[in-house]
Amino acid sequence: MSGEQSSFLHNTAVNHKPTYGIYILVWLVLMMLTGATVAVAGINLGNITIVIVLTIAVIQAYLALTFFMRLEKENAMFKIFIGIALLFLVVSISLLFSNYSFL
């Protein structure tokens, strides 16, 4: 591949932006997941309720980070900082729930 072709391919890959349709679709999915969270929180499923609600929250966070904050376009150092922050969040939530007896 010549230098001109690789430059063209690099520029088209970097400048590709999601369309409004994608943003609207992701927003609708986030709204449906919010409704699912409210519905699951209102149903007494025992110990599994917290697991389901936290799983939905993780999916929502992933969608927000990926599509609205465009995390995939950031450099590696920023992704590392996001990963460290998420690790501390998981540790904090784990320590919080280990303090309570759900069984």
What is the per-residue pLDDT across 35-79, written as a single tens digit (0 to 9) for each?
A: 999 999 898 888 888 889 989 998 998 899 888 888 777 788 888
Percent of the chain with pLDDT over 90: 28
Tell whether pTM > 0.85: no
If residue 88 lies in a helix (H) or strand (E), which one and from where to where? helix 76-98
Burial of 36 by CB count in 10 Å (0-12 exposed, 13-18 middle, 19+ buried)?
A: middle
Amino acid symbol at 44: N
